[in-house]
């Protein structure tokens, strides 16, 4: 297993944080959720009864793996964006037998341990783990000596929903340009559904999602010397039906101020830091978005309850 650290700018967390907390609607990007504890909390979220996306996407893949493997084909370069624990990928590797696996994630410890586990499970597979921020231009190292037929980009977990439709189209356009004409994109996309199911998935009874959201403040304290008191904030998640998206915020319980990077930030009671969106798409809506990035649909699979979709597209 080879490991490349392509995370260009370590200072960006502080810069983004200072800019985000100074904005009229305070905001922090969801990519900052994923320090080591954040990655662990996300894995716990994946097992919650309310969090249907992980088990549903896995079930769709299990039910259709023979067809997916046939359409993806063997000896490809399998590039995974936001690979996390690489759990769903195991199925794909086992059945499609790519020549090279390139997991890309911002969270170093989880990326390394997931890649090590994949290496132990599939000793015949070449692996190049890349620590990078996929919202920045992707310049992947060239993988000499591994014969590959084509690139297949796997982007599970509905992580694409964390971007507005315009941002998502721009991100996919970058993916398309990196992967080249004829490349395949296999992407998990959460479907629109009733507000109750959606809001429960992002505000579970055990409070794990709340801990995941609040960990961002603790991370700012740990890494940037901030003095947030997380207990003075509450997790808030709601579905905006007009925009078709979940919004997650951290709401200040009181009038208070905090310091980060030597600067003071004031909060009114009820004022929020916007931490995540999760956009939901009808199948045709997502296909239209993908076309903006020059991906044409090949096949789409859903579960019987139509909670989640897995799309296979081709770069044209």
Q: Residue ranges of the alpha helices (H) in the chain?
A: 12-22, 36-45, 52-72, 87-96, 108-121, 165-179, 195-201, 208-224, 283-292
**Closer of 160 and 258 to ligand SAM (Cβ):** 160
The residue from 20, 56, 84, 216 that contacts ligand SAM (CB under 6 A) is: 84
**Does 159 participate in binding ligand SAM (rule CB under 6 A)?**
yes
**Does 213 participate in binding ligand SAM (rule CB under 6 A)?**
no
To ligand SAM, the closest distance from the beta carbon of 294 in angstroms equals 22
Residue 169 DSSP SS3: helix
The residue from 56, 83, 272, 309 that contacts ligand SAM (CB under 6 A) is: 83
**Does 106 participate in binding ligand SAM (rule CB under 6 A)?**
yes
**Does 101 participate in binding ligand SAM (rule CB under 6 A)?**
no
The residue from 107, 127, 128, 214 that contacts ligand SAM (CB under 6 A) is: 107
Do 295 and 316 meet the contact criterion of CB atoms below 8 Å apart?
yes
C-alpha span between 195 and 241 (Å, rounded):
8
Residue 161 DSSP SS3: helix
The residue from 77, 105, 204, 276 that contacts ligand SAM (CB under 6 A) is: 105
Do 91 and 164 meet the contact criterion of CB atoms below 8 Å apart?
no
Q: How many residues bind ligand SAM (CB under 6 A)?
A: 19
Do 89 and 121 meet the contact criterion of CB atoms below 8 Å apart?
no
User: Where on the chain is the footprint of ligand SAM (CB under 6 A)?
Assistant: 31, 34, 39, 42, 46, 54, 82-84, 88, 105-107, 133-135, 156-157, 159
């Amino acid at each position: 297993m080879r490991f490349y650290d392509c995370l260009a700018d370590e200072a960006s967390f502080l810069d983004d944080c200072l800019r985000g907390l100074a904005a009229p609607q305070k905001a922090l990007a969801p990519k900052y959720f994923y320090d080591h504890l954040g990655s662990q909390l996300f894995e716990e979220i994946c097992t919650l009864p309310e969090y249907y996306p992980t088990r549903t996407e896995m079930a769709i893949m299990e039910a259709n793996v023979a067809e997916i493997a046939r359409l993806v084909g063997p000896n490809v370069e399998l590039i995974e964006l936001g690979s996390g624990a690489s759990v769903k990928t195991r199925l794909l590797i086992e059945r499609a037998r790519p020549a090279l696996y390139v997991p890309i994630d911002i969270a170093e410890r989880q990326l390394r341990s997931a890649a090590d586990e994949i290496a132990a499970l599939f000793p015949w597979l070449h692996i190049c783990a890349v620590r990078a921020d996929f919202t920045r231009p992707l310049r992947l190292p060239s993988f000499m000596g591994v014969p590959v037929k084509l690139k297949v980009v796997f982007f599970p977990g509905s992580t694409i929903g964390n971007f507005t439709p315009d941002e998502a189209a721009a991100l996919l356009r970058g993916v398309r340009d990196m992967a080249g004409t004829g490349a395949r994109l296999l992407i998990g996309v959460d479907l629109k559904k009733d507000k109750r199911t959606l809001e429960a998935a992002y505000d579970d009874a055990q409070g794990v999602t709340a801990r995941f959201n609040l960990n961002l403040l603790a991370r700012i304290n740990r890494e940037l010397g901030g003095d947030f008191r997380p207990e003075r904030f509450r997790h808030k998640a709601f579905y905006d039906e007009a925009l078709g998206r979940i919004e997650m915020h951290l709401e200040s319980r009181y009038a208070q101020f905090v310091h980060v990077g030597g600067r003071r930030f004031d909060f009114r009671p009820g004022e929020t830091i916007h931490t995540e969106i999760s956009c939901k798409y009808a199948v045709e809506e997502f296909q239209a978005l993908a076309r903006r990035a020059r991906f044409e649909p090949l096949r789409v699979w859903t579960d019987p309850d139509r909670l989640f979709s897995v799309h296979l597209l081709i770069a044209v």
